[in-house]
Structure 1
């Protein structure tokens, strides 16, 4: 019974191996980048914030344009009047209507406000640049996240190919063992060992394929897309020359997004001080107005009813100076100076952190690249050993256990090489992000 189950599992895996992964859909790196830039939620939110910052830095939000307003009004009253004059009969007037119409057009412009408006405008420009850096930071983090999953898909896909080849060899070994057993060239134990190894290989292959599907779904989640068909990814990995990496590291302080952000914040804090100081200065405003008024009055005991219409222009200049505001301006200036000092401290801290992170990332990248090179050589060695073992096994010079060990050694070497390759590439991308060059390279 146990032997039948093993054979059934082997045949099932053989059928799965025969069905090649559909290769009509290739998601290469450039396509993945385009998708994540256009569909990722975090990037979309950061771009919306950038649009708001762009609106804020415009001339319409600067305070440099004049204001123009208009107003209209209408008043109506209905009254009864009793006029009593000495020596005369009282005069009783009922339903006396009074109407009043008015309209005005007012223009105001601030000529001088202590330069607060100027520095606020410059501050808004810096805030826009800061928002642009935040968008860049979000894009960089998203690309690192995407490529981490993308290369994980590539790694598992290559492992599946290795296990498929292993499965073919194991199936061939089962057939060979059965033939040899039928002709009395080996024992039943050799057949059972081959079947057990093939069953283990089939289980590993099934698990790897399931892991591949799960990781594909993780990638689709980051890209915010759905594929109706299975897809494969680009497994080709190219590394940047170390000399060019060294040049990137030399200019890291000029390009690192965290350093650039803190420099923008430092400039904004400097403008905050100047904006606060504008409260010490007077404000000069120009104003102009056009007005129209019409009053319709009822007759009185002594005067007939009348209608008066007034219209005309008026203009002027005003100067206002808050000589003492209870110390509020002084407090704002002091707080702005403290905020500037805080940004200076943060700038020094971030520079030290970036320098440390780059050193760690560079050493990590070199170690992982070296490990990858060693693993490549290890694969060559194990491949030669396996080929020789296969020849010796076919002529009966080594046992099936020795052949299986050579096969396992080759599998481990190949999967370790795949892991080392993609680990080194992710380490390189993380280093490029720290040096500010992640968006300036060809993937």
Structure 2
């Protein structure tokens, strides 16, 4: 008997000490941490940033291009020039000069050493498309729509993460309340052992009552141990969602409030204007419409403007025939325009326009399907929410009934009018009623959040 009581105490003490050190993690704090740290949300934010960059004027094609180029070349030559069959001439008479023997004097070889030549050039070329059939104009608008679509996709990721967050958060809250209920049940079972021992000493019952109480203490201890393990696992799951240390210690808020029915009806009436799936189909429709216009731009001409500036410096080395240094320094300017009109491209533009129109029709059909599915999902979610809320109310009343039954059973048990088995059954009934009530409460709240997500109000209400 003493050993069983010791085991129960050891099971409770570490968790009691731990609870004293835990800080409350409110729903608001959990949401803030998830928005800042969750991996999926961070990836979604980066995707939005990429889409924003793509939709800027720098990616539109509206700005001109400017290309610069420059070059330099250095050359050094060492040369020897020979003049076979040529003779030196008198500069005045033009006659060949003769040596002492009366023979013409051959023209000597000429050497050219360290003959250096440099060439430098630089230029700028500017190109601008003045008109391209409005293709880039509609492409730019399409990129803007794609940016809006990416923000909606990020919002969808955030909403899904919020549902995941509160699924785990409410599971922790449910297990926390179940733990308190099981601790109370264990304490009652321990008191039964003490009472059974006193009664046995005074001959009012048998050893069997003590053994039954010990069995109940063992079962309650095991149930509490399992709940503690489930609670620790759930907290680690929440730490993953929040992207924080897996060993982070905290407790959660177990207070639940429900949104008034009138407010939910207002949300449902505006669901088609706020549902993220419907809004995404609207953006896709706009993108497909711009795709048609972009494809149609292929029927129109393109007008390009070009401007250029160039500079060249050539410094040539002296040669045998041009002994001086030859320097050329040139600057040039140029302006041009080019009109291109693809009068017939083999039918490619026509095919692209037809396919773009078909894609637009498909997107219209998809929107109708999505709107019908969203309408169905909202009605189903509302029905599930109302059903679970009613179950929660029934379970709350059931707890009161079983609490009253348990109190009366305890009085009767203390007076010896019912057996320990009957008292234990009343205790189990109360325990089941309390845990069922906890389950119903958080199931109803989670259903409410899912309804808010479908109506597009999940991120706009205080939870």
Report the TM-score range of the alignment, normalised by the length of the smaller protein. Answer: over 0.9
Q: How does 1:374-385 map to 2 (within 5 A)?
A: 374-385=394-405
CA contact (8 A) 1:148 1:426 kept: yes
Q: Equivalents in 2 of 1:103, 1:192: separation in Å?
A: 102
Paired residue for 1:433?
453
Superposed displacement of residue 236, structure 1: 0.5
Paired residue for 2:94?
none
Unaligned runs of 5+ in 2: 89-106
Q: Equivalents in 2 of 1:105, 1:169: separation in Å?
A: 91
Q: Equivalents in 2 of 1:20, 1:401: separation in Å?
A: 34
CA contact (8 A) 1:22 1:230 kept: no
Residue 111 and residue 180 in structure 1: after superposition, are their counterparts in 2 closer, same or farther (change >3 A)?
A: same
- 1:92-117 deviation per Cα after TM superposition (whole angstroms, max 9, x unaligned): 99787654322112222211110011
Paired residue for 1:147?
166
Residue 339 of structure 1 pairs with residue 359 of structure 2: yes
Q: TM-score, normalised by structure 2?
A: 0.88
Residue 14 and residue 426 in structure 1: after superposition, are their counterparts in 2 closer, same or farther (change >3 A)?
A: closer
Superposed displacement of residue 331, structure 1: 2.4
Residue 287 of structure 1 pairs with residue 306 of structure 2: yes
Paired residue for 1:39?
37
Residue 390 and residue 68 in structure 1: after superposition, are their counterparts in 2 closer, same or farther (change >3 A)?
A: same
Residue 392 of structure 1 pairs with residue 390 of structure 2: no
Larger displacement relative to structure 2 (37-46 or 348-357): 348-357
Q: Equivalents in 1 of 2:110, 2:295: separation in Å?
A: 65
RMSD of aligned Cα (Å): 2.7
Q: Report the 3-state secondary structure (helix = DSSP H, G, I; strand = E; otherwise coil) of the residue aligned with 1:398.
A: coil
- 1:253-296 deviation per Cα after TM superposition (whole angstroms, max 9, x unaligned): 11111111111111111111111111211111222222212233
Residue 278 of structure 1 pairs with residue 289 of structure 2: no
Residue 72 and residue 15 in structure 1: after superposition, are their counterparts in 2 closer, same or farther (change >3 A)?
A: closer
CA contact (8 A) 1:14 1:167 kept: no
CA contact (8 A) 1:129 1:264 kept: yes
- 1:6-30 deviation per Cα after TM superposition (whole angstroms, max 9, x unaligned): 4553454465686572254111101
Residue 122 of structure 1 pairs with residue 141 of structure 2: yes
Residue 9 of structure 1 pairs with residue 10 of structure 2: no
Residue 135 of structure 1 pairs with residue 154 of structure 2: yes
CA contact (8 A) 2:402 2:429 kept: yes
Residue 264 of structure 1 pairs with residue 283 of structure 2: yes
Paired residue for 1:408?
428
Q: Report the 3-state secondary structure (helix = DSSP H, G, I; strand = E; otherwise coil) of the residue aligned with 2:20.
A: coil
Residue 17 and residue 326 in structure 1: after superposition, are their counterparts in 2 closer, same or farther (change >3 A)?
A: closer
Paired residue for 1:312?
332
Q: Equivalents in 2 of 1:178, 1:392: separation in Å?
A: 18
Paired residue for 1:72?
70
Q: Report the 3-state secondary structure (helix = DSSP H, G, I; strand = E; otherwise coil) of the residue aligned with 2:19.
A: coil
Q: How does 1:32-431 map to 2 (within 5 A)?
A: 32-75=30-73, 99-226=118-245, 230-297=249-316, 298=318, 301=321, 306-431=326-451
Residue 336 and residue 97 in structure 1: after superposition, are their counterparts in 2 closer, same or farther (change >3 A)?
A: farther
Larger displacement relative to structure 2 (418-427 or 18-27): 18-27
Q: Report the 3-state secondary structure (helix = DSSP H, G, I; strand = E; otherwise coil) of the residue aligned with 2:308.
A: strand
Paired residue for 1:30?
28
Superposed displacement of residue 341, structure 1: 1.9
- 1:30-57 deviation per Cα after TM superposition (whole angstroms, max 9, x unaligned): 1100111111001001101111111111
Q: Equivalents in 1 of 2:76, 2:243: separation in Å?
A: 70
Q: Equivalents in 1 of 2:72, 2:18: separation in Å?
A: 84
Q: TM-score, normalised by structure 1?
A: 0.92
Count of equivalent residues: 441
CA contact (8 A) 1:25 1:229 kept: no
- 1:398-423 deviation per Cα after TM superposition (whole angstroms, max 9, x unaligned): 22111111111100000000000000
Q: Which has the larger radius of gyration?
A: 2
CA contact (8 A) 1:23 1:232 kept: no
Q: Equivalents in 2 of 1:83, 1:319: separation in Å?
A: 57
Superposed displacement of residue 230, structure 1: 3.3
CA contact (8 A) 2:81 2:320 kept: no
Larger displacement relative to structure 2 (30-39 or 387-396): 387-396
